[in-house]
């Protein structure tokens, strides 16, 4: 199954870029989401309350302060467990992690108990990106003028300083996830760290095997072929896979196939025999047995119960925030000691000031936006190209 195939699945939600950046950040008081998946990675930081997250056949409870990463094309659903559950979301284009497909730990246990200092950097970086991107979404409320919609601001490219800042933060997030939280760094069956954490060669072999299984699961995969790809014999390959993931090779393969079968059960009208063949199971009977082992239900019963809960069959339900999003931004900026910048401070830097004022004048809204007196001053500043005075003016 390639990306083009996943794009045909009915409950796919496509990654929406904010401006020119490979990330999108937003804050929501979550009530309940439909079952869905994304064509990019999704990072969650729970700011208050608690939520239950269903990812494939796993169910986790997230509480305030928790961080979680949901992989590309991973079927999931979020349901609040307390009166208010506020979550900061960061959606990332998969390209920030490189050209190869990557698979990260999706159990909050790992993020609570391993590399805690790195998780704190991840959360702070999410907040910084959110605050920066949020500044472009706000309206400019200027005394004596009008509010200028964000889509007008976005007509001007963000200043280099801002682009560099968001690019740096995005790169930091990618580096931490790649260095510490890829699936091969942990045993998938008992929540332990991989014994190969100190061996790059062994980690790379486990990573290559995981990636190969996820890429080729719908074909006939033999252990000796996997071993041949890594220039080792099949007995050592078997030992390496089980030691690194906690699961034997065949169990890993069946797990991935059952996991991908869920996508077809909920997102297509294929019959069960077609699904069994499509995900690589040798027979319909073996598919039913393995699916029931992992999901605790027969495939047909699972489809009947959960397909009606998929996007867009039901709408996403969000609660109203008990305090405004602006107040949340102030709280987050204070907690992480991040200096908040207004839209004008972010935009009006260096040569960007010239473009911004030129845009206002060209669109014929400068007078209403700045007021008559300020307009005359701004025209002088526009000629002098003095951004400090413009910032004081606004």
Q: Of 16-25, 75-84, 293-302, which gets the smallest average pLDDT? A: 16-25
Domain that holds residue 295: 187-305
> Is 343 within the bounds of a domain?
no
114/17 same-domain check = yes
196/296 same-domain check = yes
Mean pLDDT value across the chain: 82
> Is 98 within the bounds of a domain?
yes
154/17 same-domain check = yes
pLDDT tens sequence across 55-66:
999 999 999 999
- Among all chains, which residue has been given the structure tokens 């204070």? 334
CB–CB of 140/153 below 8 Å?
yes
Q: Distance between CA 44 and CA 87 in Å, rounded?
A: 7
296/367 same-domain check = no
Residue-level pLDDT at 292: 98
What is the rounded average pLDDT of the residues 1-15?
A: 77
Q: Of 86-100, 137-151, 301-315, which gets the smallest average pLDDT? A: 137-151
> Is 53 within the bounds of a domain?
yes
> Is 310 within the bounds of a domain?
no
- How many domains, in total, are found in the chain? 3
354/276 same-domain check = no
Q: Of 4-13, 59-68, 273-282, 380-389, which gets the smallest average pLDDT? A: 380-389
180/191 same-domain check = no
> Is 172 within the bounds of a domain?
yes
Name the CA dihedral angle for 249, 250, 252, 254, rounded to a multiple of 10 degrees: 170
DSSP string, 14-77: -----TTSSEEEEEEEEEE--BBEESSEEEEEEEESEEEEEETTEEEEEETT-EEEE-TT--EE
Residue scoring higher pLDDT (166 or 197): 166
Residue-level pLDDT at 130: 93
192/178 same-domain check = no
Question: Tokens standing for 118?
Answer: 């790195």
Task: Check residue 320 and report its DSSP letter.
Answer: P
């Amino acid at each position: 199954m390639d990306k083009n195939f996943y794009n045909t699945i009915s409950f796919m939600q496509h990654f929406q870029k904010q401006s020119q950046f490979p990330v999108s950040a937003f804050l929501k008081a979550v009530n309940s989401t439909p079952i869905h998946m994304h064509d990019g990675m999704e990072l969650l930081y729970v700011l208050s309350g608690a939520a239950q997250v269903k990812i494939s056949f796993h169910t986790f409870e997230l509480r305030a302060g928790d961080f979680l990463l949901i992989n590309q094309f991973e079927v999931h659903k979020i349901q609040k467990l307390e009166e208010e559950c506020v979550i900061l979301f960061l959606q990332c284009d998969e390209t920030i992690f490189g050209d190869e497909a990557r698979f990260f730990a999706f159990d909050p246990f790992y993020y609570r108990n391993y590399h805690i200092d790195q998780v704190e950097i991840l959360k702070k970086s999410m907040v910084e990106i959110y605050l920066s991107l949020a500044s472009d979404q706000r309206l400019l409320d200027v005394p004596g003028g009008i509010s200028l919609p964000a889509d007008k601001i976005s007509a001007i490219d963000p200043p280099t300083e801002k682009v560099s800042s968001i690019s740096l933060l995005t790169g930091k997030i990618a580096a931490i996830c790649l260095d510490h939280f890829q699936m091969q760094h942990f045993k998938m069956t008992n929540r332990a760290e991989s014994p190969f954490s100190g061996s790059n060669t062994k980690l790379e072999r486990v990573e290559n095997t995981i990636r190969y299984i996820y890429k080729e699961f719908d074909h006939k995969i033999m252990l000796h072929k996997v071993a041949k790809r890594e220039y080792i014999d099949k007995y050592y390959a078997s030992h390496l896979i089980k030691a690194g993931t906690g699961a034997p090779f065949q169990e890993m393969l069946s797990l991935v196939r059952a996991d991908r079968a869920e996508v077809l059960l909920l997102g297509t009208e294929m019959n069960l025999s077609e699904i069994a063949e499509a995900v690589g199971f040798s027979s319909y009977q073996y598919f039913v047995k393995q699916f029931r082992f992992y999901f605790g239900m027969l495939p047909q019963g699972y489809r009947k119960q959960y397909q009606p809960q998929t996007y867009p069959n039901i709408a996403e339900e969000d609660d109203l925030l008990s305090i405004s999003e602006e107040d949340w931004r102030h709280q987050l900026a204070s907690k992480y000691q991040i200096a908040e910048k207004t839209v004008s401070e972010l935009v009006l830097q260096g040569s960007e000031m010239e473009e911004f004022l030129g845009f206002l004048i060209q669109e014929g809204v400068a007078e209403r936006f700045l007021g008559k007196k300020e307009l005359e001053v701004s025209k002088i500043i526009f000629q002098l190209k003095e951004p400090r005075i413009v910032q004081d003016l606004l």
